[in-house]
Amino acid sequence: MSTERDYYEILGVAKGATADEIKKAFRKKAREYHPDVSKDPNAEALFKELGEAYEVLSDPQKRQVYDAYGHEGLKGGGYQPSWDFMQTFPDLNDLFAQFFGGGFPGGSGYGQRSGPSQGEDLRFDLELDFMEAAFGVKKEVEINHLIHCEPCQGSGASPDSGGPVTCQTCMGQGQIRQTTQTIIGHFTQITTCPRCQGRGTMIVDPCKVCQGKGRHNEAKTLTLTIPPGVDSGTRLRVTQEGNAGMMNGPSGDLYVFLHVKEHAVFQRDGYDLYAQVPVTYSQLALGDDIEVPALEGTEKVKVPSGTQSGTIFTIKGKGIPVLNGNGRHGDYHVKTVLQVPKKISSEERKLLEKLKALESEHLHSEKSHKSSFAHKFKEVLSGGH
């Protein structure tokens, strides 16, 4: 029932219209769409569009969101038209009966006639290992949902009792009309039948299997196929595995929310894969070919001589498979991290002390690069600038 037309335009009011002007405009326009008056075949759609426009603009909070962010803002906030405001227009009840079969749509329950309705959607949370998310996996899970009760055919009445009986309060209508005479005319108010809660029928002898509810719980094992490339926050929809509908209405869906566990070595950002690889001073100074773990097996990284700690090497196309990406992958970024040994052998100590002496000599010699960071650092240390 969503529309992309401007709500002010639909109602034919200015942007700064007062609440009273908006209400008047709605009442006037709604009357124009009355099937007895309007010959427009789209009258119903136009009426519903009008109702949505009024519902938003008559609510200061919704109007503020709409003014600032438009239709997208309302959708982002999860706005659904409820038509609850119609209770404030008892004089338009006849219009409602025409367009909504006597009841109001939405969840108010006001004047609602219970017929077949869609079952509820359900949520299931599933935790995956890092590699399961990267490569995809089949998972067997046990879910609980409500299914249609076979013995009573969803009616809730015991099969031996001959089914539900017609409610005598509303004579099966599910709602009661009350007309009140006032000085400004008469108002017809439609309310849900309090005896049968709008069903129009009563259950004398409830079904033993579902306790009269028409649905009962079922534990079910499902095999979920998780595609490669999913991540925390990915939501999978399994159609028709939510709760069964009421009165043979369609089933809702099951939404599987995924949560991916951390990995000891790898991190990911979208489809790019990251890892840190420990290297020694001599490997960075002299250069080396190093082997690094990858999603599948290992990869070789050529570290050139004079590489600094923290340098990142990118291996194209060796990251996470892109979800529904036809075999495309993100990239793999390997960061070299200098590991300084905590314990050294006596031979290593001798060599390092010799190296230290050479480095000190080098820094004081004319050959030292005047622009190097080490040289500048030394200058500041000895009181220069």
Residues that bind Zn ion (CB under 5 A): 149, 152, 167, 169-170, 193, 195-196, 207, 209-210
Question: In sequence order, which ranges of the chain are alpha helices (DSSP H)?
Answer: 7-11, 19-32, 43-57, 60-76, 93-100, 130-135, 281-286, 346-364, 373-381
Identify which of 312, 313, 303, 314 has the alpha carbon closest to the alpha carbon of residue 281: 303
Comparison of 35 and 159: residue with beta carbon closer to Zn ion: 159
- 134's CB contacts (< 8 A; 6+ apart) are 228, 229, 268, 295, 320, 321
Q: Write the single-letter amino acid at 132.
A: E
Cβ proximity to Zn ion, 66 vs 104, nearer residue = 104
State the Cα–Cα distance between residues 54 and 50, nearest whole angstrom. 6
Closest CB to Zn ion among 193 and 295?
193
| Angle, helix 373-381 to helix 346-364, in steps of 10 degrees | 80
Q: Is 204 exposed, middle or buried (0-12, 13-18, 19+ CB in 10 A)?
A: exposed
Q: Give which of 113, 10, 87, 92 is closest to 52, Cα–Cα.
A: 10
Q: How far is the CB of 196 from Zn ion (least distance, A)?
A: 3
Considering beta carbons, is residue 2 or 188 the nearer one to Zn ion? Answer: 188
Helix axes 43-57 and 60-76, enclosed angle (nearest 10) = 120
Shortest spacing between CB 109 and Zn ion, in angstroms: 14
Minimal distance in Å, beta carbon 113 to Zn ion?
Answer: 10
Between 215 and 318, whose beta carbon lies closer to Zn ion? Answer: 215
Residue 117 CB, shortest distance to Zn ion, in Å, is 17
The residue among 192 and 336 lying less far from Zn ion, judged by its C-beta, is 192
Bridge partners of residue 272, in order along the sequence: 269
CB-count exposure of residue 262 (10 Å: 0-12, 13-18, 19+): exposed
Q: Which is nearer to Zn ion, 53 or 244 (CB)?
A: 244
Cβ of residue 195: shortest distance to Zn ion, in angstroms? 5
Minimum Å gap between C-beta 102 and Zn ion is 13
With beta carbons less than 8 A apart as the criterion, state whether 228 and 323 touch. Answer: yes
The smaller minimum CB distance to Zn ion, of residues 109 and 270, is found at: 109
**CA–CA dist 234, 212 (Å, integer):** 38
* Minimum distance from residue 145 beta carbon to Zn ion (Å): 16
CB of 176 to Zn ion, least distance (A): 8
Is residue 277 within a helix (H) or strand (E), and if so which, with residue range?
A: strand 272-279
